[in-house]
Amino acid sequence: NAGVTQTPKFRVLKTGQSMTLLCAQDMNHEYMYWYRQDPGMGLRLIHYSVGEGTTAKGEVPDGYNVSRLKKQNFLLGLESAAPSQTSVYFCASRQPDASGPYNEQFFGPGTRLTVL
Amino acid sequence: AQKITQTQPGMFVQEKEAVTLDCTYDTSDQSYGLFWYKQPSSGEMIFLIYQGSYDEQNATEGRYSLNFQKARKSANLVISASQLGDSAMYFCAMRERYGGSQGNLIFGKGTKLSVKP
């Protein structure tokens, strides 16, 4: 099992360019998440999905769009990149809780994005 | 208001000594979980340990233990016998059973631990 994979690992964009980050998981998880990590800020939730065809906004959704057309994939799009979107992006997945709040959340390796 | 507070931006510990990383949290849920993750310089997020709000015993995983004090809303991570490979960022996180965003993990800002030889 590959777990959670992210493509690409690194990317440099110019302001105004667009791109899509791909997250794939092979654990048949229902829930998937996109986070961004900035220095001194910890991880903040951008968007999430609770199943194929569903998406919802997290804490910092502005400037991003997402799609979950297939259960195993969760795409994060930047339509017009801005320098403020320079960050490390993490995808994560987990199963819903059968009981109680524990189910380990598995993270991808991250994508380091720089917007010039 | 911050839900997860890690008050130590950076800490140093001598190799083979124990170290405690602080974490306090804020929630009105009765059912929640607390997690610790390690992020080495390579960048990946590594799950270390979990504590449920109803767990009576403190969680332990090898050299990691979680000092859970529910009344004080603290969930400190204790690393025993520190090793050079423990040098990393450590994040405390919480999941609320009835919180928004379908039980998303809420992260603290992290503590950078440096182990000195």
- What gap in Å lies between CA A42 and CA B35, rounded to an integer? 14
- What gap in Å lies between CA B77 and CA A66, rounded to an integer? 35
Q: Does the pLDDT at position A100 exceed 80?
A: no
A82 vs B: CB within 8 A? no
A50 vs B: CB within 8 A? yes
Q: Does the pLDDT at position A46 exceed 60?
A: yes
Q: Does the pLDDT at position B29 exceed 90?
A: no
Residue B91 has, within 13 A of its CA and on its CB side, a CA count of 23
Q: Which pLDDT score, from 0 to 100, does residue B56 have?
A: 87
- What gap in Å lies between CA A36 and CA A38, rounded to an integer? 7
Residue B9, beta-bridge partner list: none
Q: What is the mean pLDDT of residues A96-108?
A: 74
Note which residues in 22-41 of chain A have CB less than 8 A from chain B: 31, 33, 40-41
B99: confidence class by pLDDT, cuts 50, 70, 90? low
Q: Does the pLDDT at position B23 exceed 60?
A: yes
A40: confidence class by pLDDT, cuts 50, 70, 90? confident
Q: Which pLDDT score, from 0 to 100, does residue A104 have?
A: 81
Task: Write the residue in A42, A45, A107 that is nearest to B104 by C-beta.
Answer: A45
Tokens of B75: 């969930």
